Structure 1
């Protein structure tokens, strides 16, 4: 058991079939987090019923954090979920991924003060995704049929040092495989809730981490996840979000006005 108290944060919106696979993969972890919080951006009753059914026998506390569906407000629900968390270390994923059995252990092993962790993910084809959703199976690895970006699926923990590097840049950070210290998250005022809709909210958060002297730690060969195929989300707000992140970089912004403490 790790001496670091950890919270797994899962974001979701109206895809209970995918969330079911994600939760099955969490329950199968070799090292469990201390709790799981589902940051739900306004899903319907089917998602609630699914979570309630898992709560009965889930190996750790499973907490459903929900707000009303008033459009894409992922940043706000993530802040709310982190506020309810008890772990000192937050591991964040999306609800449309399947976690390798050592995912949590790997993240805890690479955690380091003064850093946040950016992981990577392999992807599943549409055919493979449909097969796994229909069968309710989570058995998948780097060599499975229907996996692409296979190098991101290689789990070689004894060689993980070869896949670790550090950068002072928030680029290419995705909230689907991200880990950080809760105290660091609070210090930068969490996610910027001025960013509504798809795009760059995780990179903007990461840039403020960097501006506060918290370094990005990129990891490969461990902390593996498999992303289920789905249609792309609308990107109509992306230009506005891109402008915000460029301002954050230019001004070396360390915190945001509308964030964790404002929510």
Structure 2
């Protein structure tokens, strides 16, 4: 028997049910299932609700839909609301445009360790094959698959993890679409910062505060494999504001922000 921690898989989504469907199908195909899945819905329309209801009727584990009204990009807020409802000790965070390798959850849990968080990379699924993967509901990819970039990242070689060292500062390879952490650590720093504006920086700013309380990172190299579905880049016109906030958190070693998950905890 393994001794994996119990975990909640959390994914944000916004008005892209085609991508969410492939994500949910890839969860059903996991060799080791999370204990629950929470979809953190930042105000999607009825199509997303209908899709989740359809999956809930046949899903092998609890599938929870946390929704709030659409008021622009409020990813930090909806993620805080979702993680506040999480029942389990370990949180695996992905994005709503991710398709997981069948051993994705197993890899995150195998390498979970107190005092650290994990982060993995992603293989990029190109625009040219989107129609095909959505039509045929394709969730399995390998190094020879058509229409992918960074294809060496498809190779799952767990032996590489023997040589991975801890990261005491944020890695440039950190991606919020593929990371995991302890819920108690997340609560200690008050979760995601709802003072950030629009898209971007929310994951790295949160991780910086984890570093500020002494949590270290570890990269999942050739494990925890995720496939990222192509989409247009988000509006980055405000990104300088968020970068300035993150710089302040790093320079002043800020550990706790005012507007975070504590608003939603019982």
- Structure 2 length-normalised TM: 0.95
Q: Secondary structure at the match of 2:227?
A: strand
Structure 1 segment 243-254 matched on structure 2, within 5 A: 243-254=244-255
Greater Cα shift, 150-159 or 86-95:
150-159
Asked if 2 retains the 8 angstrom alpha-carbon contact of 1:74 and 1:196, the reply is no
Asked if 2 retains the 8 angstrom alpha-carbon contact of 1:2 and 1:108, the reply is no
What's the CA shift for 1:2? 4.6
Asked if 1 retains the 8 angstrom alpha-carbon contact of 2:4 and 2:109, the reply is no
Matched positions, count: 262
Task: Assess, with a 3 A threshold, how the Cα gap between structure 1 residues 3 and 217 changes in structure 2: closer, same or farther.
Answer: closer
The equivalent residue for 2:182 is: 181
The equivalent residue for 1:149 is: 150
Q: Secondary structure at the match of 1:218?
A: strand
The equivalent residue for 1:237 is: 238
- CA distance in 2 between counterparts of 1:36 and 1:113 reads 22
Structure 1 segment 9-158 matched on structure 2, within 5 A: 9-158=10-159
In the alignment, is residue 259 of structure 1 matched against residue 255 of structure 2? no
The equivalent residue for 1:167 is: 167
What's the CA shift for 1:131? 1.4
Unaligned runs of 5+ in 1: none
Asked if 1 retains the 8 angstrom alpha-carbon contact of 2:9 and 2:34, the reply is yes
- CA distance in 1 between counterparts of 2:4 and 2:244 reads 40
- CA distance in 2 between counterparts of 1:142 and 1:92 reads 24
What's the CA shift for 1:159? 3.4
Q: Could you report, residue by residue, the CA deviation over 1:180-235 in whole angstroms, capped at 9, with x for unpaired residues? A: 00000000100000013111111100100000000011111100010001111111
Asked if 2 retains the 8 angstrom alpha-carbon contact of 1:4 and 1:88, the reply is yes
Asked if 2 retains the 8 angstrom alpha-carbon contact of 1:75 and 1:196, the reply is no
Q: Secondary structure at the match of 1:7?
A: strand
Q: Secondary structure at the match of 1:117?
A: strand
- CA distance in 2 between counterparts of 1:3 and 1:147 reads 31
Q: Secondary structure at the match of 1:261?
A: helix
Asked if 2 retains the 8 angstrom alpha-carbon contact of 1:31 and 1:105, the reply is yes
- CA distance in 1 between counterparts of 2:235 and 2:165 reads 32
Unaligned runs of 5+ in 2: none
Q: Could you report, residue by residue, the CA deviation over 1:73-124 in whole angstroms, capped at 9, with x for unpaired residues? A: 0000000000000110000000101100000000001101100111111101
The equivalent residue for 2:213 is: 212
- CA distance in 1 between counterparts of 2:49 and 2:238 reads 28
- CA distance in 2 between counterparts of 1:234 and 1:2 reads 42
RMSD: 1.2
What's the CA shift for 1:158? 3.4
- CA distance in 2 between counterparts of 1:114 and 1:212 reads 10
